[in-house]
Amino acid sequence: MDTPRDARLRELARRCTPEVARYLRRRAYPLNDADIEDLVEEVLEIAWRRLDDVPSGAELPWMIGVARNVLNNARRKDSRRRRQLGQMRPRSLASSAEENVVANEQLREALARLSALDQEVLFLHYWESFNTDAIATALKISKGASATRLSRASVRLQEAFEENSAASDIEQLERTRDE
């Protein structure tokens, strides 16, 4: 017999887990299904323990925020293990989305020049289609800070991208001249 807490968790899990799983796959590409399920289970365990804290109406952003923390923790553990094993383990969780998915070299380099939080805000907005309210919930920052950060991060990305483009143009010009 389900208790109310059980039922609430089931309802939350069925509603949010598909998106959480897709988020994990996007952000920790490539991961196999079993790894994703392990991370999903960890997310749900935290949700279960903190069920009272899940904000009504913002369940998905809250869950994505938890998933982000779970993923970051897993990456750190994986990174430590790989260091202990002399870097012999293949890249797995440590691989970030931007390293594996963003094919445009200039964009990848521009992203790498942003802070982790700026990157996260951009990914949440442009990949997860989160508005600034949802970003605020996921990252546990104020709505005002979320809007400001998204705006600034977009500008910084564009600036970094254009600087890279300019550098690339100069290189191309120099190559052409040498030829």
- Round to whole Å and give the CA distance between 27 and 119: 11
Task: Return the number of the residue (86 or 167) whose C-beta is nearest other proteins.
Answer: 167
Please answer whether residues 114 and 153 qualify as being in contact, where contact means their C-beta atoms are separated by less than 8 angstroms: yes
Smallest distance, Å, CB 88 to other proteins? 18
**112 touches other proteins by CB under 8 A:** yes
> Which of 35, 99, 103 is CA-nearest to residue 70?
35
**127 touches other proteins by CB under 8 A:** yes
- Round to whole Å and give the CA distance between 19 and 22: 5
DSSP code for 90: P
Task: Return the number of the residue (33 or 178) whose C-beta is nearest other proteins.
Answer: 33
- How many residues contact other proteins, by CB under 8 A? 74
**9 touches other proteins by CB under 8 A:** yes
Footprint of other proteins on 27-86 (CB under 8 A): 29, 33, 36-37, 40-41, 44-45, 48-56, 68-69, 72-73, 75-76, 79
- Of the candidate residues 35, 82, 133, 161, the single one contacting other proteins (CB under 8 A): 161
**174 touches other proteins by CB under 8 A:** no
- Of the candidate residues 89, 134, 141, 177, the single one contacting other proteins (CB under 8 A): 141
Euclidean distance between the first and the last CA atom of the chain, given in angstroms as a whole number: 78
CA torsion angle 165 167 171 172 (round to 10): 20
